[in-house]
Structure 1
Amino acid sequence: MKKLLLSISIIVGLSLLASCGVEKEYKPDIKVNEKNVSLKVWVDLNQGDFYRKVVDDFKKEHPDKNYDITVIESESGRAQEYVQKDPEAAADVFITPNDRLGQLVESGAVYQLTKYIDEIKKNNTPTSIQAATYQDKMYGFPVTAEAMFMYYDKRVFSEEDIKTFSGITSKGKLGINLAEAGADYRETPWFIANGTY
């Protein structure tokens, strides 16, 4: 089971749902006995085939148990919405942006990690550990990193210019495509952080 969780930790942002969104006490709905493990996993869109192969490979390496693992493609950005809408129908393992963690914890929809914490902390950056932590308790496995970067023309901007938003915009107009899918998620923080709404 440890290897399975470590393999699946590649795709999980939060782990193991509680049975009800109202109670704070963890009541796992993962069914495990000596021979059978039943688990539902949500993965991002267009990634199902890859993770079904991961699951198949895992099953072949661990024939000692009967693993019933269902991999379902879902939108990770909407996982919190889906979980809180119907916790009973939600996946046992899923990925979601870390800024949703507090709401999921407060609603009682996720389980606090009790295993692998030392290993997770050893193999991840402090910032990613912080992102998977709420009120000093860890609830998820860090799985992805998003970093924004900018290309600039050195003939137009100096290294000093690019250190500030005002330094960049003082040299001319800033053009971005906010109609592009996901642009609101990627671009909005830059604007809000600089007082623009």
Structure 2
Amino acid sequence: MNKILKRSFVIGLALLTLVGCGSKKSPSSDEKVNLTVWVHPYVGADKKADIEAVYANMTEEFKKTNPNATVTFEEIPWANREQKFTTTLAAKQGPDIFYLIPDQVTQFADKDLIANIDEFVSSEDRKGFSDTSMDAVTYKDKLYGLPILRESQSLFYNKKILEEIGADVNNLPKTWKEFHELGAKAVEAGYYARTYDGGNTLNSSLYPLIWQAGGDIANDKNEVFINNEKSVKAFEQINQWYKDGFISKDSITVEDSAPLFLEGKVMAAWGANNLIGAAKENNVDFVIGSPLKEEVETTFGTTGAFVVSNVSENKEKAVEFLKIMTNEKNMIEFNTVTGFIPARESALSIYDNNPEMKQMAEFTKIARPGVINSQARVFMPDVQANVQAMLEGTLTPQEAANKSAESIKTYLK
């Protein structure tokens, strides 16, 4: 997620709103309904007024058909949000609507904490959303939310370093082999080849490499693939990078190695949309390359969606508000302010004059939203520990993959 999103402050936004339902224009309803929406600090303090205006516009649109309803927006910190959600909802309290990403959707759906909204969302309502974003909020063939934003990840190259090592900035690597050849030149010249955040989520480190190798981690049928021949290639690749000095020695535990890139110490950084702004602010001349492939060109790209909690007493009304939050107009406003990629194809026009964001938006077409399994976030720390042990030299790549598979299977039981 965007670095700026990690700020943990709480702001309550009370906005009067109305609620209705249906994909078509609903007749005005005099029903009195109270809805609570939990949002997060999607922007920094400098854009607080802008995001509040977006919520106000959503509210104003909702008022047109629901004059006697009230919607309260409450901003919740990113830190420890899952714990807050689960404990609050388990106590039959909490919001009507809140924000999740795909591997959280599976977890909350399995715990019956969020509502299946299939019956309230028609085929007409689903038109316009990208296929990948709708797939990301569908679990076991049931729809659990409506997406509002997407994000993708790829390699950002320092053009100055590329020129120094004699690389063609218009012919960047497409495969692991090509990257290894270029990276070796960067290392020889005294740079790191790329970043690797071993202490961050595996969605941004190990998992994209497993998918690129043609492997997988686990699926919603509780099948485990993380230690098969293709998946192990990713463990081997990371281990080789570490040994060859392609990645820094603190890659084992570092959570954010973007500063290395911004300081001109690394040829390529694995990053998301937010790195565009950071690079420009730090006067780094960069070019965005392919996510790479060994067997499959793919990457990680999250989808942010709003869901309806099962404690809501107004599920049908809540879904109507979801539709308003994620319609084309409001999606454009939301993503223009936050800098994310819209989940609707028609809203991508906001980046027609922004070639870097347009390129990152293209990568969402080949992006995977994470591991679609209800235990995905639960077993991730164990897998991460095994990768770290491998880099420390106490496990071989195959042993790290095998231990990870054993751990995953334990959770899935």
TM-score w.r.t. length of structure 1: 0.67
- Correspondence for 1:107 among 107, 111, 117: 111
Matches within 5 A, 1:115-134: 115-134=120-139
- Secondary structure in structure 2 of the residue aligned to 1:174: strand
In structure 2, relative to structure 1, the CA distance for the partners of 1:140 and 1:68 (3 Å cut) is: same
Alignment length (residue pairs)? 167
Q: What is the distance in 2 between the residues matched to 1:131 and 1:60?
A: 30
Measure, in 2, the Cα distance between the counterparts of 1:43 and 1:57: 18
1:43·1:94 contact (CA, 8 Å) conserved in 2?
yes
Q: Distance in 2 between matches of 1:160 and 1:41?
A: 46
Does the 8 Å CA contact 1:37/1:66 hold for their aligned counterparts? yes
Higher helix share: 2
Amino acid across the alignment from 1:128:
S
Check the 8 A contact 2:37/2:96 in 1, yes or no: yes
> Deviation at 1:139?
0.7
CA contact (8 A) 2:37 2:98 kept: yes
Matched with 1:149 is: 154
Indicate if the aligned counterparts of 2:30 and 2:68 stay in contact, CA closer than 8 A.
no
Residue by residue over 1:21-72, the C-alpha shift from the partner in whole angstroms, topping out at 9 and shown as x without a partner, is xxxxxxxxxxxx952111110112146623441254235534x531221101
Tell me the residue number matched to 1:175. 194
| Cα 1:187/1:157, change in 2 over 3 Å | farther
- Give the secondary structure class of the aligned counterpart of 1:38: strand
Which residue is equivalent to 1:61?
Answer: 64
Larger of the two Rg values belongs to structure: 2
Partners of 2:79 and 2:142 in 1: CA distance: 22
Q: Does the 8 Å CA contact 2:137/2:143 hold for their aligned counterparts?
A: yes
Give the partner amino acid of 1:127.
T
Q: Which amino acid aligns with 1:103?
A: Q
Structure 2: any 5+ residue segments left out of the alignment?
A: 1-19, 184-191, 212-233, 239-386, 388-413
Task: Report the AA paired with residue 187 of structure 1.
Answer: S
Q: Which residue of 2 aligns with 1:84?
A: 86
Q: Deviations over 1:84-109 (max 9, x none)?
A: 11203322111111111111111010
Which residue does the alignment assign to 1:29?
none
Deviation at residue 135 of structure 1 after TM alignment: 0.4
Counterpart check, 1:49 vs 2:52: yes
CA contact (8 A) 1:78 1:96 kept: no
Structure 2 residue 161 is matched with structure 1 residue 137? no
* 2:105 pairs with 1:96: no
Name the stretch that deviates more: 156-165 or 35-44.
156-165
Is 1:187–2:169 an aligned residue pair?
Answer: no
Q: Secondary structure at the match of 1:71?
A: strand
CA 1:81/1:164 → structure 2, altered by over 3 Å: closer, same or farther? farther
Alpha carbons 2:63, 2:69 under 8 Å: kept = no
Quick one: distance in 2 between partners of 1:38 and 1:120?
A: 23
1:75 to 1:162, Cα distance in 2 relative to 1, 3 A: farther
Q: In 1, Cα distance between the equivalents of 2:170 and 2:128? A: 33
CA positional deviation for 1:122: 1.6
Contact 2:38 2:95 in 1 (8 A): yes
Give distance in 2, aligned partners of 1:51 and 1:120. 21
Please tell me the residue identity of whatever aligns with 1:176. Answer: T
Identical pairs, percent: 19
**Which consecutive residues of structure 1, in runs of 5 or more, have no partner in the other structure?**
7-32
Q: The residue matched to 2:72 in structure 1 has which SS?
A: strand
Partner of 1:26: none
Match of 1:37 among 33, 42, 45: 33
- The secondary structure found in structure 2 opposite 1:170 is helix
Q: Per the alignment, in what secondary structure is the counterpart of residue 110 of structure 1?
A: coil
Q: Residue type of the partner of 1:42?
A: W
8 Å Cα contact 2:38/2:75 also seen in 1: yes
Number of the residue aligned with 1:164: 175
Distance in 1, matches of 2:177 and 2:86, equals 41
Q: How far apart are residue 80 of structure 1 and its match?
A: 3.8
- Give me the whole-angstrom Cα distance separating, in 2, the residues matched to 1:184 and 1:135: 24
SS in structure 2 at match of 1:109:
coil
> What amino acid does structure 2 have at the position aligned with 1:97?
I
Q: 1:77 to 1:160 in 2, by over 3 A?
A: farther
The alignment's C-alpha RMSD in Å is 3.5
